[in-house]
Amino acid sequence: MLAIDAAAYRSPWRRHHPAAKALLAGTLLICAVSLPPWPGAPITAAITLAVALGWARVPPGMLLRAARTPVSFALTGSLTFLITISADGIGWAPDGARRMADVVARCVAALLCQLLFASTTPVADALPRLIRVGVPAVLVEVALLIYRMLFVVLDTTRTIRTAQAGRLGHRSISATWRSLGGLGSAVFVRSFDRARRLEVGLAGRGYTGALTVAIKEIPLRTRFLAVAPLPGLLAVVATLTLERG
């Protein structure tokens, strides 16, 4: 199980309805992408971080590990804003640093909003309920199967890498490349075989085009639902106050 899934199952917000948590994280996400990047994005990020660590009690270490790779991707991708290409050649963009800061600030704020929802709501609680709001059942079932197969792929990759390391498969650069090639091919073949066996198993159990799963009923708590939009409203008020000031 991934660390973010384990945190979601242990979250004290597990008893709250996913719709209420989606409302809270969604309003903050709207603030992150619609308010001015300065000071809107930093304010939204700070409020989201305070809600995640203080109210939802998300483990800080897990949150940092989950945000590390996406933030690194945003940083490296936004470096292109620093360079301009014209008829005179390649040079530094005059407003590149500001545009880079705007993009990174929005990305960090939006990422924290999504991690707030993901670290407090298990996939098994959120995906099946999408059918009730009009999402096609086929899309939900495909998403659930991909989510299930993800753990199979990760476990297979971990097992093969351990076996390769035990056989000194990473003792040199050439050996490492050979091991990576073997790892990729083995994971593809085993994943394809698992998917085929899953299809045969579903057909043997009378699959008719719908996967019926039991959904745990979670009450929609009125108090939490009423408080959910307040962090987003606070971000809007703080941003407008600072801009006018």
Flag whether the pTM goes above 0.85: no
86 beta partners = 89
Residue 235 is encoded by which pair of tokens? Answer: 């971000």
Residue 15 burial by Cβ neighbours in a 10 Å radius (0-12, 13-18, 19+): exposed
Residue with token string 């198993």: 201
Hey, is 89 helix, strand or coil? strand
Dist. CA 245–CA 243, nearest whole Å: 5
Dist. CA 104–CA 229, nearest whole Å: 25
- Give pLDDT, residue 84: 84
- Give pLDDT, residue 209: 66
Beta-sheet strands, E only, within the chain = 83-86, 89-92
CB atoms within 10 A of CB 106: 20
Judged by average pLDDT, the poorest of 147-161, 196-210, 216-230 is 196-210
Question: Of 68, 69, 67, 72, which Cα lies nearest the Cα of 111?
Answer: 67
CA dihedral (140, 145, 146, 149) in degrees, to 10, reads 160
Dist. CA 113–CA 31, nearest whole Å: 10
pLDDT, tens digit, for every residue of 48-105?
Answer: 999 999 999 999 999 999 999 999 999 999 988 888 887 777 888 888 889 999 999 9
> For the chain, what is the HEC assignment?
CCHHHHHHHHCHHHHCCHHHHHHHHHHHHHHHHHCCHHHHHHHHHHHHHHHHHHHCCCCHHHHHHHHHHHHHHHHHHHHHHHEEEECCEEEECCCHHHHHHHHHHHHHHHHHHHHHHHCCCCHHHHHHHHHHHCCCHHHHHHHHHHHHHHHHHHHHHHHHHHHHHHCCCCCCHHHHHHHHHHHHHHHHHHHHHHHHHHHHHHHHCCCCCCCCCCCCCCCCCHHHHHHCCHHHHHHHHHHHHHHHC
Residue 243 · residue 39 · CB < 8 Å: yes
What is the average pLDDT across 18-45?
Answer: 93
Q: Distance of alpha carbon 30 from its chain centroid, rounded? A: 16
Dist. CA 98–CA 78, nearest whole Å: 11
- Mean per-residue pLDDT over the chain, rounded: 87
pLDDT, tens digit, for every residue of 173-220?
Answer: 888 888 888 888 888 888 888 888 877 887 787 776 666 666 777 778
What is the average pLDDT across 131-148?
Answer: 81
- Give pLDDT, residue 88: 76
